[in-house]
C-alpha cells in the first residue's frame, strides 16, 4: 500500500489508485498518516476532522470512519490501523508513505553533503522533491489539518533552498536562475530565496539584475510589512555594490551540518547507528505515557531539540518504557538512534560525560584514535556531527542535569529521551525539557503483567492470592516481575506461598529478589538511590519510615526528625526529587508501600530502640497538641476530661475554625493511625489525648472510625488506671454506636455514666445522660428519655459556661415537641437559643430555633415556624460547609410547614437537600425518612415532575 499526502490525498495499491470516499474518512486517514506509528488520541482526531466544535456523537462517528477505512483498505485483521488507547495509530513505514520518503531523501542528501559528495547530495534531495505533486493535502481542509499541511509545505521550501545552495556550491549558477525566479515569484517575501537569486545573478555577471531583485524585495517588504530587508540581504547588497560578491566556495560545513576533512574524504560512509538494547517482550500498559511521548515527537521542521526527561522511582519501569517506545518510533529518525547507560544509579561510579561522548563519536564514524580529548572538544564535535540530522538519542539512568548537558545536540531535528530517578529540574528549567513522571502501574496494568507472567490458568485458580501479591508489591513493575517470575519458575508452588513470604513484614524485601543479579533485587535497586543521598537526607528518610500514617506533612516530618520546619521542607523536596517519596500536595508527601518497608527496615537497623521511641514521642506530641488546638477551635465551649498536652518544639498555627477543619480533614487518617500506633506501643497518654480530640469525626460522619479508635483507646484508658479516662472513651464509643443504632450503645453509655458518678465527674455524667436520652428518644422511649434529659438539665445548672444547660434545654424542647407539648417545646427552645446565642454557638442556636419551629408547627402557626426555620438555616449555612444536622434538621422542619401551606415543590426541594446531607453523613435511616416524605408529597396536587424526583 502506498499512501501519498504531498499533494492531494491518494492511496495506491500497486499500479491501481484506491479512492477513499467521504471527506470525513479522508480527514481521519490524513490525521493518522501525519503521525505514523504514533497513537492519535480521539480528541485530536476530532479536532482535525471537524472545522467547528465536534458533535456530541464525534467519537461514534470517528469509530465508524475507522471501520469503513479498514474495510476499504482490506485491513480486516487491523494490522494497518490499530486501536490503541486513547485513540488509533496507523502502521506504515518509509516505503509506504511519501512524506516519510521525502524526509529520508532530505536526510540522505544532508549526509552525502556532510561527506563531501555534493553531486549525490543534490541528486538525493531532487529525488525527494520530485515526490511533491502540489500543496500538501491539497483540497482537504480543516484548520487543524491546514496547520500541519503548512508545516509540510515549509519543509518542501526548506529542501528547495537547500538544493539551490548545494547547486550554487557546484557552480550551477546559470542553471538555478530560472528555478529561483519562479520560486521568488511564488514566495515574494521569502528572503532566503532572494539571497540565492541575487548570488546566482551576480556570479553570472548580471550585477544590475541582482540589485534590481534587492530593490523589488525592499519595496514589497516596506509596502506590505512596514520593515526593510534583514541583515543577510543587506550585507549581500553591500558586497554586490562594492563589487565583492561572496565567495563561490560556500561553507559546506555550515550548510551540510558537518566538518569533513576535504583532504581525506571518507571512502565508505559509516553505518547508521541503531544502538537501542532489546525491547522487553511482554511490555504491559503505559498507554497514556506512550501517547504523551508520541505527542512530543519533533516535526521535521522543528525549531529546537526536543528533550524529554522521564523520571520516577527505582524499579518503576523507566528504562523499559523508554526502550519500548524508542523501538516503536525509531523509523521516524532516519539518521539513527544512539543509546547510552549513564550508570547514575547502580554498582560502580556514574559514567562521565566524556565517556559517553567517546562512544557516541565512534558510533558516528569517528575512528577511536581521532576522538579529541576533553569533554568540551568531544561535545563540540558531537554537536557538529549531528547538526542537520534527525536522530533519537536515549540516555538511560542519568543522575543529574550536569551529566546530561554535554551530550545534548545543539541544532533542531533530534529528540533526546533521558531517564533518571532524579527529577532533573535543571533540564526542565534551563533546557526547556518536557518532564514525564512515571508512577506505579494501575491495578488493571499490574494484573495484566502478573497474568502474562504466571499464565491465565494459575491466575484464575488463585485470584485472591494474585490480588494480594499485586498489593504487597505496591504495583511496582520490578517487584511484580520478580514475585510473579518466582511463582512461574516454581510451577508446583502456589502463588499463595509467594504471598506468604511477602506478607511477613521482616522478609518482604528478601522475597523480592531473584538470583544473583543485583538488578533483580528490589532492596538493592533502592539501595542505589539511598546511596546518592546526603547525610541529612538519609536521616530524614529513615525517620519517615517510622511514621504510621498514609502520608505526612512537613511539620509532622519536622517533629519526627527534631528539625525546624524550613529545613525539613528542603529535605523533603530533595527526597521527592529523588523519587524516594512522592509529593501529594505542596506540603505533604507519601511513600509507596515498598519504600515504606525499606525506610522502616533502615530505621530498625541503624537507630536504637530509644532513638526510635524518642522520635515517635516527638511526632505524637506534635499530633496530640495540634489536634487539641484544632479541637478547641471547633468546640471552644466544650469541657475536656484530659489535661492539655505538652507543647511541641515547633507548634503548628491554627488561627481559626476554618483552618482547624481543613487540618482535621487532611490529617484524618494520620490521626487515627497515630492513635493506633500509640496504643500498640503503650504510649497511652498520646492515645488519650488523641481520642479526646477526635470528636471532629462525628462532624464528618466518621462513626465507624470513631468506634474503632475508641475501642483501641479503651485499652490505653484501662491501662492508665484513671476511671474518668475509661468513662470518657466509653462515652465517645457509645455516642457513635448510638448514631448507628447499635445495641451496644446503651451499655457503653450506661457504664460511662456509672463510672463518672463513682469519681464525681459531672461533665461525663451530663454528656452520658444526654446521649442516653437521645438514644432512647430515637427508640421512641420518650418517658425514659425525658428522665435522662431532666437529670442532665439538673446537673448542668451552674456547671461550666452554660453550654451543657443549653444542650439540655434543647434536648428537652425536642422531646416535648415529640410528646405534643408544643408550648413547653417553645419555652425550652427559647431558653436554649438564648444560652447558645450568649455563648456564640451558632450551630447550637440553629438547632434550638428548629426545635422552636417544631413547637409553632404543632400549634398550627406555620408562618412563625417558617420564620424560625429560615433563621436556623441561615445560621446552619455558616457552619462548617453547611453539611451536617445543623442544616438538615431545620430543612426538614421547614419542608413540613411548606407542605402544609400547599407549597409542595418548595417542600420537596428542602427534603431533598436534607436527604443529601443525611446520606453524606452516613445516616441512612434519616435519609430514608426524607425520601419517604418526598414520595408522599409527590402525589399531592401541585407537585411538578421535576421536583418530585426523589
CB 188 within 8 A of CB 224: no
Task: Report phi then psi at 553, rounded to 5.
Answer: -85, 165
3 state DSSP class of 492: coil
Instruction: Give yes or no for residue 256 having a pLDDT over 50.
Output: no
**Distance in angstroms (rounded) separating the CA atoms of residues 310 and 318:** 7
- The beta-strand segments (E) located in 538-607 are 552-553, 582-585, 588-590
Q: H or E element: which one contains 46?
A: helix 42-49
Q: What is the phi/psi pair of residue 225, to 5°?
A: -120, -15
| 319 band by pLDDT with thresholds 50, 70 and 90 | very high
Lowest mean pLDDT of 373-382, 686-695, 872-881, name the range.
872-881
pLDDT at 431 over 80: yes
pLDDT of 226 above 90: no
Beta bridge partners of 575: none
Of 846, 789, 853, the closest CA to residue 815 belongs to 789
In this prediction, residues 578-595 reach a mean pLDDT of 86
Match 506534635 to its residue by C-alpha cell: 622
Answer yes or no: are the C-beta atoms of 310 and 419 closer than 8 Å. Answer: yes
For the ranges 139-153, 523-537, 860-874, 922-936, the lowest mean pLDDT is seen at: 139-153
Phi, psi of 84, rounded to the nearest 5 degrees: -140, 125
36-50, 239-253, 508-522: which is most confident: 36-50
- How far is Cα 300 from Cα 311, in angstroms, rounded to an integer? 26
H/E stretch holding 88: strand 87-90
Interval 613-634: pLDDT, tens: 999 999 999 999 999 999 988 8
pLDDT value for 880: 53
Question: Which whole number is the average pLDDT over 831-841?
Answer: 90
Any idea which of 35-44, 121-130, 285-294, 476-485 has the lowest mean pLDDT?
A: 35-44
pLDDT tens-digit readout, 740-769: 889 999 999 999 999 999 999 999 999 999
- Beta-carbon contacts of 49 under 8 Å, excluding residues fewer than 6 positions away, are 24, 27, 28, 31, 58, 62, 65, 142
What is the 8-class DSSP label of residue 85? T
**633-658: average pLDDT:** 83
Place of cell 539518521: 335
Highest mean pLDDT among 97-101, 107-111, 234-238, 716-720: 716-720
What is the percentage of the chain residues whose pLDDT exceeds 90? 42
Could you tell me the sign of the dihedral formed by the alpha carbons of 39, 42, 48, 49, in that order?
positive
The predicted structure's pLDDT at residue 941: 82
What's the confidence (pLDDT) of residue 612? 95
End-to-end Cα distance, the chain: 59
User: 268-272, 478-482, 632-636 — which is least confidently predicted?
Assistant: 268-272
Q: Are 169 and 252 in contact (CB under 8 A)?
A: yes
What pairs with residue 435 in β-bridges?
309
Closest by Cα among 576, 577, 568 to 536? 568
Predicted confidence band of residue 657 (pLDDT cuts 50, 70, 90): confident
Q: Which of 104-118, 776-790, 880-894, 916-930 has the highest mean pLDDT?
A: 776-790
Q: How far is CA 737 from the centre of its chain?
A: 39
Beta bridge partners of 309: 418, 435
% of the chain with per-residue pLDDT over 70: 93
How much is the average pLDDT of 821-848?
Answer: 92
Rounded to the nearest 10°, the torsion over CA 393, 397, 399, 403 is -30
- Whether the CB-CB separation of 392 and 417 falls below 8 Å is answered with yes
**C-beta separation of 440 from 476 below 8 A:** yes
Exposure class string for 610-633: b at 16+ Cβ within 10 A, else e: eebeebbbbbbbbbbbbbbbbbbb
- Give burial (CB, 10 Å; 0-12/13-18/19+) of 282: exposed
Classify residue 682 by burial, with Cβ atoms within 10 Å: 0-12, 13-18, 19+.
exposed
The pLDDT assigned to 493 comes to 63
pLDDT of residue 515: 63
Nearest-angstrom CA–CA distance, 644 and 194: 85
- Quick one: 143 exposed, middle or buried, by C-beta within 10 A (0-12, 13-18, 19+)? exposed
CA–CA separation, 578 vs 932, rounded Å? 56
Q: Tell me the C-alpha distance between 866 and 778, whole Å.
A: 25
Q: Which residues pair with 552 in a beta bridge?
A: 589
DSSP bridge pairs for 875: none
Q: Of the ranges 393-397, 503-507, 549-553, which one carries the lowest mean pLDDT score?
A: 503-507
Q: Is 733 exposed, middle or buried (0-12, 13-18, 19+ CB in 10 A)?
A: buried
pLDDT higher than 90, residue 417: yes
Question: Could you give the 3-state DSSP secondary structure of residue 526?
Answer: helix
User: Tell me: the pLDDT tens digits for 158-206?
Assistant: 888 888 888 888 888 888 898 899 888 888 888 889 989 998 998 888 8
Q: What is the pLDDT of residue 718?
A: 96
Per DSSP, the chain holds a count of helices (H) and strands (E) of 45, 14
Q: Match 510451577 to its residue by C-alpha cell.
A: 491
Is 730:771 a contact under the CB 8 Å cutoff? no
DSSP 491: T
Mean pLDDT check: name the lowest of 23-27, 88-92, 113-117, 251-255: 251-255
Please, which pLDDT band fits residue 264 given cuts at 50, 70 and 90?
A: very low
Measured CA to CA, the distance from residue 736 to residue 771 in angstroms comes to 10
Asked whether 848 and 829 are in contact (CB, 8 A), the reply is yes
Amino acid at each position: 500500500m502506498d499512501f501519498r499526502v504531498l499533494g492531494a490525498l491518494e492511496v495506491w495499491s500497486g499500479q491501481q489508485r484506491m479512492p477513499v470516499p467521504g471527506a470525513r474518512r479522508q480527514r481521519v486517514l490524513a490525521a493518522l498518516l501525519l503521525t505514523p506509528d504514533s497513537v492519535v488520541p480521539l480528541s485530536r482526531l476530532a479536532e482535525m476532522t471537524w472545522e467547528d466544535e465536534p458533535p456530541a456523537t464525534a467519537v461514534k462517528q470517528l469509530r465508524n470512519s475507522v471501520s469503513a477505512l479498514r474495510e476499504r483498505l482490506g485491513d480486516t485483521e487491523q494490522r494497518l490501523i490499530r486501536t490503541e488507547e486513547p485513540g488509533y495509530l496507523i502502521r506504515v513505514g518509509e516505503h509506504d508513505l511519501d512524506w516519510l520518503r521525502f524526509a529520508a531523501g532530505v536526510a540522505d542528501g544532508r549526509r552525502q553533503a556532510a561527506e563531501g559528495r555534493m553531486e549525490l547530495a543534490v541528486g538525493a534531495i531532487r529525488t525527494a522533491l520530485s515526490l511533491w505533486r502540489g500543496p500538501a493535502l491539497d483540497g482537504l481542509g480543516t484548520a487543524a489539518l491546514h496547520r500541519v499541511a503548512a508545516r509540510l509545505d515549509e519543509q518542501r521550501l526548506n529542501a528547495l533552498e537547500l538544493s539551490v545552495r548545494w547547486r550554487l556550491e557546484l557552480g550551477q549558477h546559470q542553471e538555478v536562475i530560472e528555478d529561483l525566479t519562479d520560486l521568488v515569484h511564488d514566495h515574494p517575501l521569502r528572503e532566503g530565496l532572494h539571497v540565492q537569486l541575487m548570488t546566482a545573478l551576480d556570479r553570472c555577471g548580471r550585477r544590475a539584475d541582482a540589485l534590481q531583485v534587492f530593490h523589488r524585495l525592499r519595496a514589497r517588504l516596506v509596502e506590505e510589512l512596514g520593515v526593510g530587508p534583514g541583515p543577510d540581504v543587506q550585507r549581500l547588497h553591500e558586497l554586490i555594490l562594492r563589487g565583492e560578491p561572496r565567495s563561490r566556495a560556500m561553507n559546506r560545513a555550515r550548510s551540510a551540518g558537518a566538518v569533513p576533512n576535504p583532504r581525506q574524504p571518507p571512502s565508505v560512509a559509516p553505518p547508521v547507528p541503531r544502538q537501542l538494547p532489546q525491547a522487553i517482550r511482554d511490555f504491559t500498559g503505559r498507554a497514556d505515557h506512550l501517547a504523551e511521548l508520541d505527542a512530543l515527537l519533533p516535526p521535521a521542521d522543528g525549531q529546537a531539540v526536543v528533550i524529554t526527561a522521564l523520571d520516577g522511582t527505582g524499579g518503576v519501569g523507566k528504562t523499559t518504557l523508554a526502550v519500548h517506545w524508542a523501538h516503536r518510533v525509531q523509523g521516524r529518525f532516519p539518521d539513527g538512534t544512539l543509546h547510552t547507560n549513564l550508570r547514575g544509579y547502580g554498582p560502580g561510579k556514574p559514567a562521565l560525560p566524556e565517556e559517553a561522548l567517546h562512544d557516541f563519536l565512534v558510533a558516528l564514524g569517528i575512528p577511536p584514535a581521532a576522538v579529541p580529548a576533553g569533554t568540551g572538544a568531544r561535545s563540540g564535535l558531537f554537536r557538529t556531527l549531528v547538526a542537520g540530522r534527525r536522530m533519537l538519542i536515549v540516555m538511560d539512568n542519568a543522575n543529574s542535569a550536569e551529566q546530561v548537558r554535554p551530550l545534548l545536540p545543539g541544532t533542531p531535528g533530534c529528540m533526546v529521551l533521558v531517564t533518571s530517578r532524579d527529577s532533573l529540574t535543571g533540564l526542565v528549567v534551563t533546557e526547556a525539557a518536557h518532564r514525564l513522571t512515571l508512577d506505579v502501574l494501575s491495578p488493571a496494568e499490574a494484573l495484566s503483567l502478573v497474568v502474562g507472567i504466571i499464565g491465565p490458568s494459575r491466575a484464575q485458580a488463585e485470584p485472591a492470592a494474585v490480588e494480594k501479591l499485586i498489593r504487597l508489591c505496591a504495583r511496582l513493575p520490578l517487584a511484580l516481575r520478580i514475585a510473579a517470575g518466582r511463582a512461574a519458575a516454581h510451577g508446583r508452588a502456589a502463588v499463595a506461598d509467594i504471598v506468604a513470604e511477602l506478607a511477613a513484614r521482616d522478609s518482604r524485601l528478601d522475597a523480592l529478589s531473584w538470583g544473583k543479579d543485583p538488578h533483580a533485587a528490589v532492596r538493592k535497586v533502592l539501595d542505589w538511590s539511598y546511596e546518592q543521598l546526603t547525610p541529612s537526607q538519609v536521616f530524614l528518610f529513615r525517620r519517615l519510615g517510622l511514621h504510621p500514617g498514609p502520608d505526612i506533612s512537613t511539620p509532622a516530618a519536622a517533629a519526627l526528625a527534631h528539625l525546624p520546619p524550613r529545613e525539613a521542607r528542603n529535605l523533603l523536596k530533595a527526597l521527592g526529587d529523588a523519587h524516594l517519596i512522592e509529593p501529594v500536595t505542596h506540603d505533604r508527601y507519601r511513600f509507596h508501600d515498598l519504600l515504606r518497608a525499606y525506610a522502616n527496615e533502615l530505621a530498625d537497623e541503624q537507630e536504637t530502640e530509644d532513638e526510635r521511641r524518642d522520635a515517635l514521642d516527638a511526632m505524637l506530641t506534635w499530633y496530640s497538641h495540634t489536634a487539641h488546638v484544632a479541637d478547641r477551635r471547633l468546640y471552644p465551649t466544650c469541657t475536656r476530661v484530659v489535661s492539655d498536652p505538652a507543647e511541641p518544639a515547633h507548634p503548628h498555627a491554627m488561627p481559626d475554625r476554618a483552618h482547624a477543619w481543613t487540618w482535621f480533614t487532611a490529617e484524618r487518617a494520620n490521626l487515627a493511625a497515630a492513635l493506633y500506633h500509640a496504643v500498640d506501643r503503650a504510649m497511652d497518654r498520646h492515645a488519650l489525648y488523641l481520642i479526646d480530640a477526635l470528636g471532629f469525626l462525628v462532624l464528618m460522619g466518621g462513626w465507624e472510625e470513631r468506634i474503632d479508635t475508641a475501642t483501641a483507646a479503651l485499652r490505653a484508658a484501662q491501662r492508665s488506671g484513671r476511671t474518668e479516662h475509661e468513662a470518657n472513651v466509653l462515652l465517645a464509643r457509645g455516642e457513635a454506636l448510638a448514631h448507628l443504632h447499635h445495641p451496644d450503645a446503651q451499655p457503653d453509655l450506661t457504664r460511662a455514666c456509672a463510672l463518672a458518678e463513682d469519681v464525681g465527674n459531672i461533665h461525663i455524667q451530663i454528656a452520658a445522660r444526654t446521649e442516653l436520652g437521645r438514644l432512647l428518644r430515637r427508640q421512641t422511649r420518650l418517658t425514659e428519655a425525658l428522665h435522662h434529659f431532666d437529670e442532665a438539665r439538673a446537673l448542668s445548672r451552674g456547671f461550666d459556661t452554660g453550654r451543657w444547660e443549653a444542650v439540655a434545654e434543647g434536648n428537652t424542647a425536642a422531646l416535648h415537641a415529640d410528646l405534643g407539648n408544643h408550648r413547653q417545646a417553645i419555652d425550652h427552645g427559647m431558653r436554649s437559643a438564648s444560652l447558645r446565642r450568649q455563648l456564640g454557638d451558632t450551630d447550637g442556636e440553629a438547632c434550638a430555633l428548629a426545635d422552636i419551629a417544631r413547637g409553632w408547627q404543632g400549634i398550627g402557626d406555620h408562618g412563625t415556624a417558617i420564620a424560625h426555620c429560615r433563621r436556623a438555616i441561615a445560621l446552619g449555612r455558616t457552619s462548617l460547609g453547611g453539611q451536617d444536622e445543623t442544616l438538615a434538621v431545620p430543612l426538614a422542619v421547614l419542608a413540613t410547614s411548606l407542605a402544609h401551606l400547599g407549597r409542595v415543590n418548595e417542600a420537596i426541594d428542602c427534603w431533598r437537600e436534607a436527604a443529601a446531607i443525611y446520606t453524606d453523613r452516613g445516616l441512612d435511616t434519616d435519609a430514608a425518612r426524607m425520601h419517604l416524605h418526598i414520595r408522599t408529597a409527590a402525589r399531592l396536587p401541585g407537585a411538578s415532575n421535576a421536583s418530585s424526583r426523589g
